[in-house]
Amino acid sequence: MIRFGLCCIFRKEPIKFRRTTAKYLGRFSRRQQLANLSEICMANADALYRALQFCRRHGIKGFRINSQILPLKTHPEIGYRFEDLPSHRKIRRMFERCGTYASEHDLRTTFHPDQFILLSSPDNNVTQRSTADLIYQSEVAQWVNADVINIHAGGAYGDKIRTLNRLRREIERLPEAVRRRLTFENDDRIYTPEDLLPVCNDMEIPLVYDVHHHRCLPDGNDVEKTTQLALKTWNREPLFHLSSSLNAKGDGNPRNHHDTIDIADFPRCWLQLDTTIEVEAKGKELAVLKLMKEVFRLSAEKSA
DNA sequence: AGCGGTCAAGTTGAT
DNA sequence: ATCAACTTGACCGCT
């Protein structure tokens, strides 16, 4: 069975994750900052629980957690230790409750740190800060039983081979809690599945295969072949990404995501897989539910 | 209450 | 050398 995953937020369902800015918090005393952050983190733990409940009710068995779930956690000025939040014990219990709920109902959760998290940068400060962020996300991942922290390989810095070697060295230095959750995803500008597979295989880091990115930045392998290669990198349930171009035939940027998934973009060779497919579409839960219906129909036709 | 400017972060590529 | 794009909604401050 395919497990479909929703990414981070909702389109219609009134479940919101809160955030704040360093600039805004900067005007308050440290005590007030921490009180404010504590409140936001608690609201986010509560929102996550409600998000998981929504997913369970609707048969959506995967949920990607926003990387700002503890806002500004590693910010150079505003960053804080979790234990410094006034309500940290309660917040932690609330996240652990999410983890229990997810396990009980077979819901899979994942993290996808954003574009600034780079293990391959030649700038040591960048990789240091990135690692700090990965550690924070792995801590929350532990509470909520998330088994994936998925990132991209980063920039080319003029030499992809040298950069990937730097990436390998950086992986070896990661704490175990990060490394056993870490995955790499092919991107739409620089690193193809073919580029990443050697690193993934050697370092035992699974490949999150994004078929839309692969269509934007091909590497000579077709979808079937790459699917098979990606599957082999997984020592747990595989995870793939699916989205549809906003401008399939227009002149806009084809890398942008559409509201929904065009069923024509769903690789037929994925139909029989026991895999999580995270649906990247602006229509969020509406798009996931629509796709689930259409894929179900497709499977029924195929077996009939 | 509603609207618009703003938001931590890095890298690439257009100008 | 500079700067927008990437992607993006939600927050805050002002009206």
Note the pLDDT tens digit of each residue in A284-299: 999 999 999 999 999 9
State which amino acid sits at residue A209.
Y
Torsion of CA A281, A286, A289, A295, to 10 degrees: -50
pLDDT over 70 (residue A247):
no
Question: Is the C-beta atom of A187 closer than 7 angstroms to strand B?
Answer: no
By C1' distance from the Cα of A24, the closest nucleotide is: C12
The answer to whether the beta carbons of residues A212 and A188 sit under 8 Å apart is: yes
- Average pLDDT score over residue span A42-66: 95
Q: What does the alpha-carbon distance between residue A81 and residue A67 come to, in Å, rounded to a whole number?
A: 16
pLDDT, position A27: 84
By C1' distance from the Cα of A246, the closest nucleotide is: C7
pLDDT over 70 (residue A254):
no
pLDDT over 80 (residue A251):
no
Question: Residue A303 CA to nucleotide C9 C1', Å?
Answer: 41
Question: Residue A268 CA to nucleotide C3 C1', Å?
Answer: 42
pLDDT, position A255: 62
Question: Is the C-beta atom of A154 closer than 7 angstroms to strand B?
Answer: yes
Query: In sequence order, what are the residues at sequence separation of 6 or more whose Cβ sits closer than 8 angstroms to the Cβ of residue A94?
Result: A42, A45, A46, A49
Residues 214-273 of chain A with CB under 7 A from strand B are none
By C1' distance from the Cα of A78, the closest nucleotide is: B8
The answer to whether the beta carbons of residues A102 and A52 sit under 8 Å apart is: yes
Q: What is the pLDDT of residues A200-231, one digit of tens each?
A: 999 999 999 999 999 999 999 999 999 999 99
Q: What is the pLDDT of residues A84-102, one digit of tens each?
A: 999 999 999 999 999 999 9
Question: Residue A298 CA to nucleotide B1 C1', Å?
Answer: 47
pLDDT, position A291: 96
pLDDT, position A163: 94
Mean pLDDT score of chain A? 92
pLDDT over 80 (residue A304):
no
Query: Quick one: pLDDT band at residue A12, thresholds 50, 70, 90?
Result: confident
By C1' distance from the Cα of A157, the closest nucleotide is: B11
pLDDT, position A250: 47
Question: Is the C-beta atom of A282 closer than 7 angstroms to strand C?
Answer: yes
**Model-level pTM?**
0.95
